[in-house]
Chain A
Amino acid sequence: MTLAVPPLNDGCPSGLAPPSPSESGDISAFVRQSGKLSRIDLAVRGAKCGGCLSKIETAVQALPGIETARLNLSNGRMAVSWTGALGANRIAETIRALGYGVAAYDTTTESSTAQKEERNLLIAMGVAGFAAANIMLLSVSVWGGVGEMGETTRTTMHAISGAIALPAVIFSGRHFFQSAWNALRNGHVNMDVPISLAVLLAFATSVYETLIGGQHAYFDACVMLLFFLLIGRFLDARLRRQAYGAAHELAALQARSATRIEASGEAKAVRAEDIVAGDRILLASGERAVVDMVVTEGTSEIDESLVSGESLPSLAAPGRKLFAGSVNLGQPLQGEAIAGASDSLLSDIAKMLEAGEQRKSAYRKIADRAVSLYVPFVHTTAALAFLSWWWLSGDVRTAVMIAVSTLIITCPCALALAAPVVQVVASGRLFKAGVYLKSGDALERLAGIDHIVFDKTGTLTLGNPTLVDTGLPAPLLDKAARLARASRHPLSRALVSAAGPGGIAANVTEHPGLGLEAEIDGTPCRLGSAEWVSIDQPPASNGPSIWFAEGDQTPVQLKFIDQPREDAADTLAALTARGLTMEILSGDKMQAVSTLARTLDVADWTGEATPQDKVNRLEALRDEGRKVLMIGDGLNDAGALSLAHASLAPGGAMDVSQAAADAVFSGGLGAIPEILNASQAARRAMLQNFGLAAAYNFIAVPIAVTGHVTPLIAAIAMSASSLVVTLNALRIAKPGKRSS
Chain B
Amino acid sequence: MNVLIYLIPVAIGLGALGLMAFLWSVNSGQFDDPEGAASRILMDDDDRPAPKRLSD
Report A's interface with B, CB cutoff 8 A. Answer: 2, 5, 9, 49-50, 53-54, 58-59, 62, 71-75, 94, 97, 119, 122-123, 126-127, 130, 133-134, 137-138, 153, 160, 164
What would 27 A/B residue contacts be, using CB atoms closer than 8 Å?
Answer: A2-B53, A2-B56, A49-B39, A50-B43, A54-B39, A58-B48, A58-B51, A62-B51, A62-B54, A73-B33, A73-B39, A74-B32, A74-B33, A74-B34, A74-B35, A74-B36, A75-B33, A94-B54, A122-B31, A126-B23, A126-B26, A130-B16, A130-B22, A134-B12, A153-B1, A160-B8, A160-B12
Asked if A123 and B11 make an inter-chain contact with CB atoms under 8 angstroms apart, the answer reads no
Chain A residues with CB below 8 A from B54, complex form: 2, 59, 62, 94, 97
Interchain nearest-CB distance for B11 vs A (Å):
6
- Output the nearest chain B residue to A123 by Cβ-Cβ distance: B26
Q: Please tell me which one of the listed residues B8, B34, B42 contacts residue A50 in the complex, with CB atoms under 8 A apart.
A: B42
Asked if A72 and B33 make an inter-chain contact with CB atoms under 8 angstroms apart, the answer reads yes
Q: Please tell me which one of the listed residues B16, B35, B53, B56 contacts residue A73 in the complex, with CB atoms under 8 A apart.
A: B35
Chain A residues with CB below 8 A from B50, complex form: 62
Asked if B18 and A130 make an inter-chain contact with CB atoms under 8 angstroms apart, the answer reads yes
Q: Please tell me which one of the listed residues A9, A74, A137, A153 contacts residue B11 in the complex, with CB atoms under 8 A apart.
A: A137
Chain B residues with CB below 8 A from A75, complex form: 33
Report B's interface with A, CB cutoff 8 A. Answer: 1, 4, 8, 11-12, 15-16, 18-19, 22-23, 26, 31-36, 38-40, 42-43, 48-51, 53-56
Asked if A73 and B11 make an inter-chain contact with CB atoms under 8 angstroms apart, the answer reads no
Q: Please tell me which one of the listed residues B8, B31, B36, B42 contacts residue A71 in the complex, with CB atoms under 8 A apart.
A: B36
- Output the nearest chain A residue to B43 by Cβ-Cβ distance: A54
Chain B residues with CB below 8 A from A9, complex form: 53
Chain A residues with CB below 8 A from B55, complex form: 62
Supply 9 further A-B pairs (C-beta < 8 A) apart from A54-B43, A133-B15, A160-B12. A2-B54, A9-B53, A53-B39, A62-B50, A74-B34, A75-B33, A123-B26, A134-B12, A134-B15
- Output the nearest chain A residue to B8 by Cβ-Cβ distance: A160
Interchain nearest-CB distance for A589 vs B (Å):
39
- The 8 A-B pairs with the shortest beta carbon distances in the complex, nearest first, are A50-B39, A73-B36, A62-B51, A130-B19, A73-B35, A72-B33, A126-B22, A74-B33
Chain A residues with CB below 8 A from B40, complex form: 50, 53
Asked if A134 and B48 make an inter-chain contact with CB atoms under 8 angstroms apart, the answer reads no
Asked if B49 and A58 make an inter-chain contact with CB atoms under 8 angstroms apart, the answer reads yes
Chain B residues with CB below 8 A from A133, complex form: 15
Chain B residues with CB below 8 A from A54, complex form: 39, 43
Chain A residues with CB below 8 A from B36, complex form: 53, 71-74
Q: Please tell me which one of the listed residues B4, B11, B32, B43 contacts residue A72 in the complex, with CB atoms under 8 A apart.
A: B32
- Output the nearest chain A residue to B11 by Cβ-Cβ distance: A137
Interchain nearest-CB distance for A433 vs B (Å):
16
A323 to B1, CA, bound (A): 82
Main secondary structure on A side of the interface with B: helix
Interchain nearest-CB distance for A617 vs B (Å):
38
Chain B residues with CB below 8 A from A127, complex form: 19
Asked if A138 and B8 make an inter-chain contact with CB atoms under 8 angstroms apart, the answer reads yes
A50 to B45, CA, bound (A): 13
- Output the nearest chain A residue to B42 by Cβ-Cβ distance: A50
A74 to B53, CA, bound (A): 28
Chain B residues with CB below 8 A from A58, complex form: 48-49, 51
Asked if A59 and B15 make an inter-chain contact with CB atoms under 8 angstroms apart, the answer reads no
Asked if A126 and B19 make an inter-chain contact with CB atoms under 8 angstroms apart, the answer reads yes
Chain B residues with CB below 8 A from A59, complex form: 51, 54
A75 to B32, CA, bound (A): 9
Asked if A164 and B48 make an inter-chain contact with CB atoms under 8 angstroms apart, the answer reads no
Q: Please tell me which one of the listed residues A5, A123, A153 contacts residue B53 in the complex, with CB atoms under 8 A apart.
A: A5
Interchain nearest-CB distance for B48 vs A (Å):
6
Chain A residues with CB below 8 A from B34, complex form: 74
Chain B residues with CB below 8 A from A119, complex form: 26, 31
- Output the nearest chain A residue to B18 by Cβ-Cβ distance: A130
Interchain nearest-CB distance for A160 vs B (Å):
6
Asked if A122 and B39 make an inter-chain contact with CB atoms under 8 angstroms apart, the answer reads no
Q: Please tell me which one of the listed residues B12, B26, B53 contacts residue A122 in the complex, with CB atoms under 8 A apart.
A: B26
Chain B residues with CB below 8 A from A49, complex form: 39
Interchain nearest-CB distance for A180 vs B (Å):
25
Interchain nearest-CB distance for A188 vs B (Å):
32
Chain B residues with CB below 8 A from A53, complex form: 36, 39-40, 43
Interchain nearest-CB distance for B51 vs A (Å):
4
- Output the nearest chain B residue to A57 by Cβ-Cβ distance: B43
Which of B43, B49, B51 counts the most A-chain CB atoms under 10 A from its CB?
A: B51
Chain A residues with CB below 8 A from B38, complex form: 50
Chain A residues with CB below 8 A from B49, complex form: 58
- Output the nearest chain B residue to A77 by Cβ-Cβ distance: B33
A160 to B15, CA, bound (A): 14
Interchain nearest-CB distance for B54 vs A (Å):
6
A126 to B26, CA, bound (A): 10
Chain A residues with CB below 8 A from B32, complex form: 72, 74
- Output the nearest chain A residue to B12 by Cβ-Cβ distance: A134
- Output the nearest chain B residue to A120 by Cβ-Cβ distance: B26
A164 to B16, CA, bound (A): 11
A173 to B1, CA, bound (A): 34
- Output the nearest chain B residue to A160 by Cβ-Cβ distance: B8
A154 to B22, CA, bound (A): 31
A198 to B46, CA, bound (A): 56
- Output the nearest chain A residue to B34 by Cβ-Cβ distance: A74
Chain A residues with CB below 8 A from B4, complex form: 153
A58 to B56, CA, bound (A): 16
